């Protein structure tokens, strides 16, 4: 049976990593053309004694919806012998799942290209050009904000203790010069909700503003921690330094789960 850590990682993979495929398809012209007109269901399912774990990608004329749960049928299915092996594949490790739907060659190649594209999320992935750098930053921040909320919803003890005593607060991330790269985490009395864009109803309690994509990349690649990044001017923390630092610690925790 999967450990609690493995189940938590799988939850983040299904609910925070897979959804940023939408960003990849929307922002990468090559990927957008590749999925234009595609209608299909793709499943990722891992076996466990407690029951199957996974999620589905529902493509409808190129539009993507991520559906939670392993589902029962699909045009293409990636099956894993354990939750740990599914997590390992999404961490970029050499894991070969059982694939059902080999005859759907075109779909299979498209999905392989998406899975390769997700490697851009890895801290060690080096963008080849400014467009890739922007995509990496956007995908990573969107994934991290959602993952932090999922960490709380899953009952992570440290995250739950941190959120439980807070009144309504907004933790905002943005990148200078990139208006479409902004996301937030709303915290209120132990409840959390992630969102994209700028939260308009309330001033952020903490606002991490990166100095362009060049400033964001070292932080999101774990080359420097939040404190070092502030000292180097890579990021400005508007609001509580204590809570901003703690938020950085939880970002590192997410990175550790997915590594």
Residues 177 and 185: their CA atoms lie apart, in Å, by: 21
One domain, residues 108 and 179: no
Tell which of 121, 150, 177 closes a domain: 121
Domain CATH number, residue 94: 3.30.1050.10
One domain, residues 105 and 157: no
Residues 129 and 107: their CA atoms lie apart, in Å, by: 27
One domain, residues 113 and 51: yes
One domain, residues 160 and 180: yes
**pLDDT per position in the chain (259 positions), as tens?**
899 999 999 999 999 999 999 999 999 999 999 999 999 999 999 999 999 999 999 999 989 999 999 998 899 999 999 999 999 999 989 898 999 998 899 999 999 999 999 999 998 888 989 999 999 999 999 999 999 999 999 999 999 999 999 999 999 999 999 999 999 999 999 999 999 999 999 999 999 999 999 889 988 887 777 777 777 888 888 998 888 888 888 988 998 999 8
One domain, residues 163 and 117: no
Instruction: Provide the pLDDT for residue 10.
Output: 97
Range of the domain at 204: 130-258
pTM of the model: 0.94
Best CA proximity match to 216, nearest among 235, 236, 230, 233: 235
Instruction: Provide the pLDDT for residue 245.
Output: 84
Number of neighbours of residue 4 by Cβ within 10 angstroms: 10
The total number of structural domains in the chain stands at 2
What does the block give as tokens for 176? 């200078």
In the 8-state DSSP scheme, what is residue 249? H
Burial of 231 (0-12, 13-18, 19+ CB in 10 A): exposed
**H helix or E strand, kind and range, residue 82:** none
Tell which of 68, 102, 121 closes a domain: 121
One domain, residues 199 and 144: yes
Tell which of 100, 121, 142 closes a domain: 121
Instruction: Provide the pLDDT for residue 252.
Output: 87
Instruction: Provide the pLDDT for residue 226.
Output: 73
One domain, residues 223 and 146: yes
């Amino acid at each position: 049976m999967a450990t609690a850590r493995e189940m938590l990682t799988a939850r983040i993979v299904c609910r925070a990593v897979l959804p940023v495929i939408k960003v990849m398809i929307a922002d990468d012209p090559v990927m957008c053309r590749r999925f234009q007109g595609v209608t299909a269901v793709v499943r990722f399912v891992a076996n466990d004694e407690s029951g199957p774990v996974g999620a589905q990608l529902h493509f409808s004329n190129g539009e993507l919806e991520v559906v939670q749960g392993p589902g029962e049928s699909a045009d293409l299915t990636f099956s894993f012998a354990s939750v740990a092996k599914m997590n390992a594949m999404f961490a970029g490790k050499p894991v070969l799942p059982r694939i059902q739907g080999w005859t759907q060659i075109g779909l299979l190649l498209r999905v392989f290209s998406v899975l390769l594209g997700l490697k851009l999320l890895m801290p060690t992935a080096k963008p080849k050009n400014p467009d890739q750098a922007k995509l990496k930053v956007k995908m990573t921040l969107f994934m991290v904000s959602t993952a932090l909320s999922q960490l709380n919803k899953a009952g992570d003890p440290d995250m739950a203790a941190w959120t439980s005593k807070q009144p309504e607060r907004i933790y905002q991330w943005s990148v200078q010069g990139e208006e479409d790269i902004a996301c937030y985490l709303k915290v209120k009395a132990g409840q959390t909700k992630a969102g994209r864009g700028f939260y308009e109803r309330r001033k952020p309690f903490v606002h991490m503003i990166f100095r362009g994509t060049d400033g964001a990349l070292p932080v999101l690649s774990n080359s420097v921690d939040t404190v070092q990044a502030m000292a180097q001017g890579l990021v400005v923390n508007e609001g509580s330094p204590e809570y901003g630092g703690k938020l950085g610690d939880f970002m590192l925790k997410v990175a550790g789960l997915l590594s």
